[in-house]
């Protein structure tokens, strides 16, 4: 297949693109290579993708409407996996406009590109038995986030829960994406699936994430900041598990659910419109998490063990926009695609630390002119 991956130079986008290339697909990857974090890391990821004959990279900002329209005019896609976004909860407190521009305006451009390409003259198609049924292989998969759960206190977080109380602009923008996708699925029959990721970590990860900052600081003998006095839990999910989930979901094209009574008995009934995770439109939502929350202090211990060094800690209060715990209910994912993330935090952190030391050791050598 020919697949568009947005955010291909990003952490998840890089790993997914590599996997799809290995599976023999033709991938067009786009990214704006912004400087939210170290751009050289993004270029290094792209360098790992360049040897694949089926990979083509284009520097495009998804918020650039004209560039996105041209992309969809010039290339026909069987699948679109939308991972590009302005990430980070705390940064959204300082620069909220970046989140609306990328996560809302940019996603609108992706939706419109799919509509213009997959729906002749804007007509509706559905997966089963409608006009334009030749488009039944098309599928838009997009990244959402566990941040949409906001003030929800019901554990584990379920895609059937109400998520109308976000506590950050980042979370609100991701919830907006889910709603916009549903509208396009309903109006135009475009199959769309949203994936709520839970704290993804692993090699080639994002330097703004806590595990990356902890590793760097501990390695250097610097103090780490531990928020909420360390009384936090996260459903840390290893990158390979995330990629496996995306690949399986991408090949699971949603069909409309039955109308009346769908979801009845599970507390999620939305009369006439299916459950909150599905719809009478070809639309689904899934959590992808390790479904096994880890205490922050145990997470830090795993990093210390992998590094062979003890952390110096400063305990601080909870930060605005943050939550004390995340925990993914993945029953729907397991039922529909037969997959459950299962990488232990010890194995995942060990692999990350091995990559970190290898990568930054090489970077240091290059800076000192020791490597060629």
Work out the number of other CB atoms within 10 angstroms of the CB of residue 187.
13
Of 36, 37, 149, 170, the catalytic one is 170
CB 202 within 8 A of CB 209: no
Work out the number of other CB atoms within 10 angstroms of the CB of residue 22.
10
Beta strand pairing status for 233-234 and 294-295? antiparallel
Beta strand pairing status for 2-6 and 26-31? parallel
- Examine the residue annotation and report whether 170 is marked as an active-site residue of this protein: yes
Which position has the token pair 């990721």? 197
Report how far apart, in Å, the C-alpha atoms of 195 and of each of 92, 221, 248, 278 are.
20, 37, 12, 12
Cis peptide before 156 (omega within 30 of 0): yes
Q: Which segments of the chain does DSSP mark as H helices, in order?
A: 11-22, 39-49, 65-74, 91-94, 96-99, 106-118, 169-188, 210-220, 239-250, 296-307, 331-337, 345-367
Catalytic residues: 170
């Amino acid at each position: 297949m020919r697949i568009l991956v947005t955010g291909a130079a990003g952490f998840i986008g890089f790993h997914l693109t590599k996997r799809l290339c290995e599976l023999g697909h033709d991938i067009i990857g786009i990214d704006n290579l912004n400087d939210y974090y170290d751009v050289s890391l993004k270029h290094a990821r792209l360098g790992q993708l360049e040897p694949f004959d089926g990979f083509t990279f284009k520097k495009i900002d998804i918020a650039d409407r004209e560039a996105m329209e041209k992309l969809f005019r010039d290339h026909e896609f069987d699948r679109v996996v939308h991972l590009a976004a302005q990430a980070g909860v705390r940064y959204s407190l300082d620069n909220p406009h970046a989140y609306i521009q990328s996560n809302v305006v940019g996603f609108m451009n992706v939706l419109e590109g799919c509509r213009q390409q997959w729906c002749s003259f804007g007509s509706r198609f559905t997966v089963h038995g409608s006009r334009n049924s030749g488009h039944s292989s098309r599928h838009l998969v997009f990244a959402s986030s566990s941040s949409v759960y906001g003030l929800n206190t019901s554990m584990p977080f379920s895609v059937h829960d109400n998520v109308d109380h976000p506590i950050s602009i980042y979370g609100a923008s991701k919830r907006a994406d889910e709603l916009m996708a549903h509208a396009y699925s309903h109006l135009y029959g475009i199959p769309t699936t949203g994936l709520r990721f839970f704290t993804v970590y692993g090699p080639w990860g994002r330097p703004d994430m806590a595990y990356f900052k902890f590793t760097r600081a501990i390695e250097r003998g610097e103090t780490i900041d531990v928020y909420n006095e360390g009384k936090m839990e996260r459903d840390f999910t290893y990158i390979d598990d995330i990629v496996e989930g995306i690949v399986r979901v991408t090949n699971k094209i949603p069909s409309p659910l039955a109308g009346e009574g769908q979801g009845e008995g599970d507390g999620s009934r939305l009369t006439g419109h299916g459950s909150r995770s599905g719809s009478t439109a070809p639309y689904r939502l899934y959590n992808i998490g390790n479904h096994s929350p880890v205490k922050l202090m145990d997470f830090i211990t795993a990093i210390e063990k992998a590094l062979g060094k003890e952390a110096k800690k400063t305990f601080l209060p909870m930060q605005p926009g943050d939550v004390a715990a995340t925990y993914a209910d993945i029953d729907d994912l397991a039922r529909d695609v037969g997959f459950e993330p299962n990488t232990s935090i010890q194995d995942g952190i060990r692999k990350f630390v091995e990559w970190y030391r290898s990568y930054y050791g090489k970077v240091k050598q290059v800076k000192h002119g020791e490597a060629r």
